[in-house]
């Protein structure tokens, strides 16, 4: 028996055109899911992800909306469910990081971080959960971060937004358990993506010293955890935070 298959399932991966989201889209499709990749800018990047999945025999498509727009997010989730008949898996991955020490955090940056990371994730979850409730099955996975658990100097607003997702995870897990919908969070550590390319030199060396496995993580290593939590085999796991951080925080 092959485990962790997602055949016949419909999955949405927000911000799936690059980085961790792209890896999630590819792995979920390889496991058999029909994957809807969402993006806000970069239609070309999203089209490339869809083409790569299709070349490997998978099912994928791309749709555009800004997750910070609550109504657009909810509408997009119900459109997917209507068009494809259901929505089994939501990977709320879209996120932004704008760094700055507390005394320098601009109000507009704080608002943008919370609009995208927290409100966007909540809105997509609300849209998705509506159809999951009808189907009495669902998997919601939020991309939080190790910094939401341990803090990080220079990332107060970002860390606060990622910690907020852990509260959201546990609350939705309690609210929708009776409908057979599980809600979990993944907290990646230092993963090599566009978001982290600016971390170089001494800052990178310092971070690597704090990682017992001694290296940065790959997007595919986060995606593998997402695929597991998406699967039927993860049916008794809800409200959980799964760390994918090389031992950086335990
Ligand atoms: P990334 O910047 O490469 O990708 C982020 C994705 O989100 C992009 O596709 C982007 O277009 C999309 N996005 C941003 N704002 C959006 C909006 N308003 N509407 C729709 N889509 C939007 O980053 P990544 O490293 O792949 O990170 C993915 C997720 O994982 C993020 O939530 C991030 O906070 C989290 N994370 C990343 C790391 C890391 O080390 N890279 C560590 C912990 C957590």
Give 73-95 pLDDT, tens digit per residue.
Answer: 999 999 999 999 999 999 999 99
* CA 172 – ligand 1 centroid, Å: 22
pLDDT digits (tens, 9 = 90+) for 64-74: 999 999 999 99
Q: Is the CB of 193 under 6 A from ligand 1?
A: yes
pLDDT at 199 (0 to 100): 86
Atom number of ligand 1 nearest to Cα 45: 9
Q: What is the mean pLDDT of the chain?
A: 97
pLDDT digits (tens, 9 = 90+) for 126-137: 999 999 999 999
pTM: 0.98
- Among all residues, which ones are annotated catalytic? 158
Question: Does residue 119 surpass a pLDDT of 80?
Answer: yes
Q: Is the CB of 224 under 6 A from ligand 1?
A: no
pLDDT digits (tens, 9 = 90+) for 165-184: 999 999 999 999 999 999 99
Q: Is the CB of 248 under 6 A from ligand 1?
A: no
* CA 117 – ligand 1 centroid, Å: 9
Q: Is the CB of 190 under 6 A from ligand 1?
A: yes
Query: Can you give the C-alpha Rg of the chain in angstroms?
Result: 17
CA distance 49 to 23: 9
Q: Which residue has the higher pLDDT, 52 or 196?
A: 52
pLDDT at 179 (0 to 100): 98
104 φ/ψ angles, rounded to the nearest 5 degrees: -110, 0
* CA 2 – ligand 1 centroid, Å: 31
Mean pLDDT of 217-229: 98
* CA 168 – ligand 1 centroid, Å: 18
CA distance 43 to 93: 17
* CA 120 – ligand 1 centroid, Å: 12
Question: Does residue 61 surpass a pLDDT of 80?
Answer: yes
pLDDT at 1 (0 to 100): 63
Question: Does residue 123 surpass a pLDDT of 90?
Answer: yes
Q: Is the CB of 17 under 6 A from ligand 1?
A: yes
Indicate the top mutation candidate among 193, 210, 225 to test ligand 1's pocket, ranked by most ligand atoms within 8 A of CB: 193
Q: Is the CB of 158 under 6 A from ligand 1?
A: no
Sort strands 59-64 and 181-188 into parallel, antiparallel or unpaired: unpaired
Atom number of ligand 1 nearest to Cα 97: 34
pLDDT digits (tens, 9 = 90+) for 146-161: 999 999 999 999 999 9
pLDDT digits (tens, 9 = 90+) for 187-213: 999 999 988 888 889 888 988 999 999
């Amino acid at each position: 028996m092959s485990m962790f298959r997602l055949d016949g399932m419909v999955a949405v991966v927000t911000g799936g055109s690059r980085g961790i989201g792209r890896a999630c889209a590819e792995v979920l499709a390889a496991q058999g899911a029909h994957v809807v990749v969402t993006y806000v800018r970069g239609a070309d990047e999203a089209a490339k992800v869809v083409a790569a999945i299709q070349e490997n025999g998978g099912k994928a498509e791309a749709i555009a909306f800004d997750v910070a727009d609550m109504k657009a997010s909810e509408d997009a989730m119900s459109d997917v469910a209507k068009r494809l008949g259901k929505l089994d898996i939501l990977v709320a991955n879209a996120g932004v990081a704008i760094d700055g020490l507390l005394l320098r955090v601009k109000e507009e940056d704080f608002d943008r971080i919370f609009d995208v990371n927290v409100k966007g994730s909540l809105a997509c979850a609300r849209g998705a959960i509506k159809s999951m409730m009808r189907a009495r099955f669902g998997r919601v996975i939020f991309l939080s971060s190790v910094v939401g658990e341990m803090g990080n100097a220079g990332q107060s607003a970002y860390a606060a937004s990622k910690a907020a997702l852990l509260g959201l995870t546990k609350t939705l897990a309690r609210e929708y358990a009776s409908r057979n919908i599980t809600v979990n969070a993944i907290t990646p550590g230092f993963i090599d993506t566009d978001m982290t390319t600016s971390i170089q030199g001494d800052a990178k060396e310092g971070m690597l010293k704090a990682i017992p496995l001694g290296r940065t993580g790959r997007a595919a290593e986060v995606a593998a955890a997402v695929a597991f939590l998406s699967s039927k085999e993860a049916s008794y796991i809800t409200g959980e935070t799964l760390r994918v951080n090389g031992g950086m925080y335990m």
